Amino acid sequence: MFGQATKSFDVGLYEATALLCRATLESAFFLFLTREWDNEEIVTFAIPTTLDGRIRRVEFEELAKAIKKKLKLSESQSVAIARIQNDGNFVAHFASGREKALEKYTKEVEKVARQIGADPSRGERPDVFEKMAEKFPFGIRTEQALENLRDTSSIFLRLFRSMTKPRSASRQTRTTARHVNTG
């Protein structure tokens, strides 16, 4: 998915970039938290289940919280996780998010227009209103998408480095699965 995110960025699909960065982190967090080496150096799967044994859906927030407890992330990486999730959610729920942003922006424009005595419909003081628009998400900007890519890469690298173990000659390559009842 991260490769698709970088390709999306390269062709100017910034919303796709944001959504794929979020999906990349969610998948990486899930895999990191549900795979481990046992004492016999075999990869085991700890599949989250409900009390009745069904596989349980684990949401991004729960995964992010668990990652932050399990790994020592930098402060900027922790902040980036929330931002990447927020940007991805904005894209995933674009219509309703855009409407909320447009409503807030409109109220702010009206307030500022009253304060400066301008009529925004006539285009007076457009610099003020353009700067205001930057505060409200109407889409994913180039800088945002690039920041998401860089931070996703940094977090992904941190996860990868903590997952790898020095390869021993006796390491077996088989895997086993176990279900973990997590309520």
21 pLDDT above the threshold of 60: yes
Q: 161: domain CATH number?
A: 1.20.120
d(CA 123, CA 166): 64
**Helix segments in 35-93, DSSP class H:** 60-70, 75-92
pLDDT above 60 for 43: yes
- Of 22-26, 86-90, 179-183, the range with the lowest mean pLDDT is 179-183
Tell me the mean pLDDT in the region 73-96: 90
| 127 part of a folded domain | no
**Token code pair at residue 169:** 């000659």
Identity of the residue numbered 132: M
Instruction: Indicate the number of domains in the chain.
Output: 1
The pLDDT score that the predictor gives to residue 8 is: 95
Give residue 69's domain range.
2-94+142-181
Per mean pLDDT, which range of 43-52, 74-83, 111-120, 157-166 is the poorest? 111-120
Q: Which residues contact 144 (CB under 8 A, 6 or more apart)?
A: 14, 18, 87
Report the C-alpha dihedral over residues 160, 165, 171, 172, rounded to 10 degrees: -30
> pLDDT-derived band of residue 53, with 50, 70 and 90 as boundaries?
confident
Residue 106, in any domain of the structure: no
Of the two residues 54 and 49, the one the predictor is more confident about is 54
pLDDT of residue 171: 44
Q: In whole angstroms, how large is the CA radius of gyration of the chain?
A: 22
Percent of residues, the chain, with pLDDT higher than 90: 40
Assigned domain for 105 exists:
no
Domain annotation covers residue 100? no
What pLDDT is stored for residue 137 in this prediction? 62
In angstroms, rounded to a whole number, what is the distance separating the alpha carbons of residues 85 and 93?
A: 12
Q: How far apart are CA 175 and CA 44, in angstroms?
A: 6
Residue 39 counted as domain residue: yes
Give this prediction's pTM.
0.70
List, for residues 106-140, the tens digit of each pLDDT value.
Answer: 888 788 777 777 555 555 555 666 676 666 667 88
Residue 141, number of CB atoms within 10 A of its CB: 13
**Greater pLDDT, 134 or 39:** 39
Within a domain: 28: yes
Residue 88 CA to chain centroid, in angstroms? Answer: 6
